[in-house]
Chains A and B, each alone.
Chain A
Amino acid sequence: MDVSQYLDIFIDETSEHIQSLSDGIMVLENEPENKDTINEIFRAAHSLKGMAGTMGFKRMQHLTHDMEDVFSEVRNDNIKVDSEMIDLLFNCLDAIEAYLESVKATSDEGTEDNEVLINKLNAYLDGSHASGGDATPAPAEDNSEESTEEAPGEAAPSASSDPNDPNGVDHYKSIKISENDVSKIREASESGLNIYGLTVHIEKECLLKAARAFLVFKALEDFGETLCSDPSSSDIEDEKFDLAFSVIIATESTDTDAIKAAVGAVSEIESVDLGKVTAEMYEKAEQAAPLAEPVEETKAASPAPAKAAPAAAPAAKKEAAPAKKAANKPVTARTVRVDIEKLDALMNQVSELIIAKNSIVSISSQSETTSNLDSGSLHEQIEYLERITTNLHESVMKVRMVPIESTVNKFPRMIRDLSRKLNKPMELTMSGEETELDRTVVDQIGDPLQHLLRNSADHGIESPEVRKAAGKPEEGTIFLNAFQEGNNVIIQVGDDGGGIDTERVLNKAIERGLVSEEEAPNLTQKEIIDFLFMPSFSMAKEITDISGRGVGLDVVKSNIEALGGDVEVKSTLGQGSTFTVRLPLTLAIIQALMVEVRDEKYAIALGSIMTIEDISINDIKYVEAKEVIHLRGLVIPIIRLDQLLDCEPSDANPENLTVVVVKKGDNYAGLVVDNLMGQQEIVIKSLGKVIENNKIISGATILGDGEVALIIDVNALI
């Protein structure tokens, strides 16, 4: 068995632990006394160490081990958390992340020992001993903690469970084993060996169960021969077992504590039950309930008797915390990690299914008029098919949706670092982290958001002195709010800083020849702000390594547009600015309203449509020589799609116009169309690389009859 197959899981799991460590340390910085957090951090560091060890990443293990020691001292109140230590811990996290990056790239942790960090960590440890005057060496204390820390909280509930439950205590006594194995046990016992049964419980959160089991088997090899196991060893290797497995071994040793300790030393093993067994027990097992008494004495009531005594006091104290956590955190999210490519394939198949369905729908509507086919039942079946494909599509979409949390949760740390670097106190508040987006979008939205946040931190938030003078709190606030609106997800990033000085932007634009001095006064605020999105247009007075290299906002804009979204800025001088990023919820399939303009068919995303109105030609008013309609208190500009889309002018002068009212945020527009065709589920396709830079058309779709319809990009029209 080779651990390299677990590399992917290791990488995923490690990233998660790094994130929870980072979150925890952030909390710790504000509430240095928070015991729950300290425990959580300790557990994360411990798991990290265990995983690194399992995978054979010695340097990583060393570093995490020392971090764990520090946390353990913190937990025991031997060290106080101070900001210097928080910085050091963050540096350590960065180092671990560097290891992880190296593992990702080369499957190896690299050669960086990070001795400086380790020395610093040790300095903390030494310091604590000096001041605390505690004679107990730290490692010893640690060992006892490790085993007790995991055992009490989680093993307690299982103690009372049914022995037939594979996760129950002493399951090894009731396992079913083959005749063959029974005779093996008998032979071994006749040759004078001690036969022990073990049930090993693995932690719930453990992902590398088979790897842990492998290590348990390896540890047992040192003592003697493994006679049999339940489930079978091949099932264990394939991870076909729940949270526990049982093994029967033959050994010369009588030191059961040593065996338990050896097995318990494997990380993420929750507890080990061990007892003497005999071949007879299994022979009778079929007729009668297992005999528990003969072996009772070796199996202690507490799952960790050897270590419990010396560390009883701290263990008891800690017992509450993990138990509480187990209740709060429902079983580690019941998820399956799926390769995104597989989902893409599934998605493509669904797309094709929808196209096929659309053609059947189109055929059936034709046959209704032309033949006397029994179209009633056909119709019914088609509606059924339609319902299935829609549901299927929704499920597939949902599978692809992930909360943006995974991307945004690294930002608080970033802002904290920036705050120190820039010497400006500031705080990041986030809301809507649970908002879900397509996985591909979530993966790619990180960089643009990071740019915007850095921008806010560097350019937005003023220095504390300036803020004080302006009557604002010294600590700046940066916010990130995410929420869903129709078919879009909106992410707002902003600050309560100085806002954009349009005057300065304009001067800069004139200076750079982007606009002539004569034209300049005619520009609207929005047009001026748009200069910021021009390539290499930097407003920074001095170039810092945070921003100001002129590769900011234009990249943000193009990245977001590449995802089918757009970005807007609102800014009030002196009060701050807000960047609003709008992203499509779904990438491939949408519900759309099909309309006709002349004889051409167009699709408008249903999510952006507010209403459809029949407007008399007399109701059209003019504002600044542009057509508008007055609708329930809103003045809505009219866009004649035939003109916009360069259609042939028509002679017809209808009395009434069909107007599709669309909205984007707080802005509306009325699109004049010739004909409404109805609602349809459409598969969005690119126009092809050579013409995809189209501002009005966001893509095309294939209709049931094979014809192509263009999709109007409403966001670009408003």
Chain B
Amino acid sequence: MANELEMTEEEKIQYIVVKIGSEHYGINISLVDNIVRMQKITRVPKVPNYYPGIINLRGEIVPVMSARVKMGLGEDVITNQSRIIILKLEVQGLVGIVVDAVREVITLGESEIDRTAQNSRKQDTTYINGIGKNGDELISIFDINSIVDEVSVS
């Protein structure tokens, strides 16, 4: 839980706000390597359904996942606004996440994030670890460690 530690130590953290369905989610900007437009995703057989496949990111192969499918919110709807957020994670390497749109970058302090709020949907697993308040808006903060599959370090 390295990013949690960061959050308690640092005063303010910047988040990229993205739209998936009707909700807004925040992704810690320090984990984001890149944001790219939607492009052809090559399907890979025999992987969990929330991986639409892989893309060619300037000569590198990057696996892309669908946060929406993973959270059980249905299939992605690809529009002109769709983007792939490329995360650079220490263990998993580069991973892309498909989002409906990228909204803005906001700065939140720990006091503006409600860590106790429960996800309204009764799900077994939750993929957020807090709800940030940006003015009137509520922004769910992604828990990257639970949204991106763990990989065994062997």
Quick check: B95 and A688 within 8 Å, CB to CB?
Answer: yes
Q: Does A311 contact B (CB under 8 A)?
A: no
Check B148 for interface membership: any CB of A closer than 8 A.
Answer: yes
Say which residue of B42, B92, B149 sits within 8 Å of A710 (CB atoms).
B42
Q: Nearest residue in A to B48 (C-beta to C-beta)?
A: A691
Measured between alpha carbons, how far is A700 from B45 in the docked complex, in Å?
12
Shortest Cβ gap from A465 to chain B (Å): 41
> Is B54 interfacial (CB-CB < 8 Å)?
yes
Complex Cα–Cα for A687 and B55 (A):
10
Which of B42, B46, B60, B95 contacts A690, CB < 8 Å? B95
Closest to B51 in A: A691
Question: Taking A558-B154, A689-B93 as contacts, is the C-beta distance between A702 and B45 under 8 angstroms?
Answer: no
**Contact segment of B26-34, B61-69, B126-134:** B61-69
A697-B42 CB under 8 A given contacts A690-B92, A690-B149, A708-B61: no
Docked pose: A352 CA to B59 CA in angstroms: 8
CB distance from B90 to the nearest CB of A (A): 11
Known: A707-B42, A710-B44. Contact between A687 and B54, CB under 8 A?
Answer: yes
> Which of B42, B45, B59 makes the CB contact (< 8 A) with A646?
B45
Residue among B47, B51, B62 facing the most chain A CB atoms (10 A cut-off): B47
- The proximity string for A residues 622-644 relative to B, scoring 1 for CB distances below 8 Å and 0 otherwise, is 00000000000000000000001
- Given A685-B60, A700-B54: A645 in contact with B65 (beta carbons within 8 A): no
Q: Which residues of A contact B151 (CB under 8 A)?
A: 689-690
Are the C-beta atoms of A688 and B46 separated by less than 8 Å? no
Residues from chain A with a CB closer than 8 A to the CB of B55 are: 708
Q: Say yes or no for A396: interface residue by CB 8 A criterion.
A: no
State whether the Cβ of B115 lies closer than 8 Å to any Cβ in chain A. no
A687 and B46 in contact, given A700-B54, A707-B56, A708-B55 (Cβ under 8 angstroms)? no
The 8 A CB mask of B62-95 against A (1 = contact, 0 = none) is 1101000000000000000000000000011111
Q: How far is the CA of A708 from the CA of B41 in the complex (A)?
A: 8
Cβ-neighbour of B42 out of A355, A558, A644, A708 (below 8 A)? A708
Give the complex CA separation of A118 and B96 in angstroms.
63
Judged by a CB distance under 8 angstroms, whether A686 is at the interface is yes
Q: Is A600 an interface residue, CB under 8 A from the partner?
A: yes
Residue on A nearest B60 in the bound complex, by CB: A685
- Give CA–CA (A690, B151) in the complex, Å: 6
Q: Does A534 contact B (CB under 8 A)?
A: no
Chain A residues within an 8 Å CB radius of B60? 685
B121: interface (CB < 8 Å): no
Q: Judge whether B40 is part of the interface by a CB distance below 8 angstroms.
A: yes
- Which secondary structure dominates where chain A touches chain B? mixed
State which of B40, B45, B61, B149 has its C-beta within 8 Å of the C-beta of A645: B45
Contact between B56 and A708, CB atoms less than 8 A apart: yes
A709 to B44, alpha carbons, bound, how many Å? 10
Indicate if the CB atoms of B56 and A696 lie closer than 8 Å. Answer: no
* Any A CB within 8 A of the CB of B103: no
A-chain residues with CB within 8 Å of residue B37 when the two chains form the complex? none
Is A695's beta carbon under 8 Å from chain B? yes
Chain A: minimal CB distance from B19 (Å):
23
Residue of B43, B59, B65 near A355 (CB, 8 A) is: B59
A706 within 8 A of B: yes
Neighbouring B residues of A686 by C-beta, 8 Å? 61
Q: Check: A694 CB closer than 8 A to any chain B CB.
A: yes
From A562, A646, A691, A706, B63 is in contact (CB under 8 Å) with A691
Contact partner of A709 (CB less than 8 A), chosen from B42, B91, B94, B149, is B42
Residues of B within 8 A of A707 (CB): 40, 42, 56
Q: Using Cβ atoms and an 8 Å threshold, which residues of chain B touch A697?
A: 44-46
Contact across chains for A708 and B54 when beta carbons are under 8 A apart? yes
Are B61 and A688 within 8 A (Cβ)?
Answer: yes
> Roughly how many angstroms separate A384 CA and B60 CA in the complex, as a whole number?
27
Instruction: Please determine whether B46 and A702 come into contact, CB atoms closer than 8 angstroms.
Output: no
Which of A687, A690, A697 counts the most chain B CB atoms within 10 A? A690
Q: Which residues of A lie under 8 Å from residue B149 when comparing CB positions? A: 690
Task: Tell me, rounded to whole Å, the shortest Cβ–Cβ distance linking A319 to chain B.
Answer: 57
The 0/1 profile, CB within 8 Å of B marked 1, for residues 121-155 of chain A is 00000000000000000000000000000000000
CB contacts under 8 Å to B, within A251-310, are none
- Report if A696-B46 is in contact (Cβ < 8 Å); known contacts: A688-B54, A691-B51: yes
Among B83-133, those with CB < 8 Å from A are: 91-95
For A352, what are the chain B residues with a Cβ–Cβ distance below 8 Å?
A: 59
Closest A residue to B39 using CB positions: A706
Which residue of chain B lies nearest to A685 when distances are taken between CB atoms in the complex? B61
Residue of A nearest to B43 (CB): A600
Chain B neighbourhood of A691, CB < 8 A: 44, 47, 51, 54, 63
Chain B residues with Cβ below 8 Å from A687 are 44, 54, 61, 63
Known contacts A697-B45, A707-B40; decide if A690 and B148 are in contact (CB<8 Å): yes
Contacts of A702 in B (CB 8 A): 56, 59, 61
Q: CA–CA, A523 to B17, complex, Å?
A: 54
A689 and B54 form a contact (CB under 8 A):
no
Q: Would you list which residues of chain A between 70 and 113 have a CB under 8 Å from chain B?
A: none
Q: Which residues of A contact B91 (CB under 8 A)?
A: 689
B150 — nearest CB in chain A belongs to which residue? A690
Distance of B62 from chain A, by nearest CB (Å): 6
Q: Measured between alpha carbons, how far is A708 from B63 in the docked complex, in Å? A: 11
Per the 8 Å Cβ criterion, residues 188-241 of A in contact with B are none
Q: Measured between alpha carbons, how far is A646 from B51 in the docked complex, in Å?
A: 14
A558 and B40 alpha carbons, distance in the complex (Å): 33
* Chain B residue at minimal CB-CB distance from A695: B46
Give the docked Cα–Cα distance between A164 and B88 (Å): 64
**Whole-angstrom distance from the CB of A714 to the nearest CB of chain B?**
15
Inter-chain contacts of A709 with B (CB < 8 A) = 42
Which residues does chain B contribute within 8 Å of A644, judged by CB atoms?
A: 45
Least CB separation from A646: chain B residue:
B45
Interface string of B8-26 (1 = CB under 8 A from A): 0000000000000000000
A590 to B72, CA, bound (A): 40
What is the minimal beta-carbon distance from B84 to any residue of chain A, in angstroms? 13
Cβ of A690 and Cβ of B63 under 8 Å apart?
yes
With A and B bound together, what is the CA distance between A645 and B47 in angstroms?
11
CB distance from A690 to the nearest CB of B (A): 5
* Contact across chains for B93 and A688 when beta carbons are under 8 A apart: yes
0/1 interface trace, chain A 662-692, chain B, CB 8 Å (1 if under): 0000000000000000000000011111110
Question: Using Cβ atoms and an 8 Å threshold, which residues of chain A touch B93?
Answer: 688-690
> Do A706 and B44 contact each other (CB < 8 Å), given the known contacts A685-B61, A689-B93?
no
Residues of A within 8 A of B65 (CB): 690
Interface centre among B45, B63, B95, B154 (most CB of A within 10 A): B45
Q: How far is the CA of A691 from the CA of B92 in the complex (A)?
A: 10
Taking CB atoms and an 8 Å cut-off, the chain A residues in 451-473 that contact chain B are: none
Let me know if A646 and B61 touch, CB within 8 A: no
Contact with B along A553-567 (1 / 0, CB 8 A): 000001000100000
B95 to chain A, nearest CB (A): 6
Closest 4 CB pairs of A and B: A688-B63, A708-B42, A645-B45, A685-B61
Q: List 20 A-B contacts (CB under 8 A).
A: A352-B59, A558-B154, A645-B45, A646-B46, A687-B44, A688-B54, A688-B61, A688-B63, A688-B94, A688-B95, A689-B63, A689-B151, A690-B93, A690-B95, A690-B148, A691-B51, A694-B44, A694-B45, A700-B42, A708-B61
Beyond contacts A645-B45, A708-B40: 4 other A-B pairs, Cβ-Cβ < 8 A, are A690-B51, A691-B44, A708-B61, A710-B45
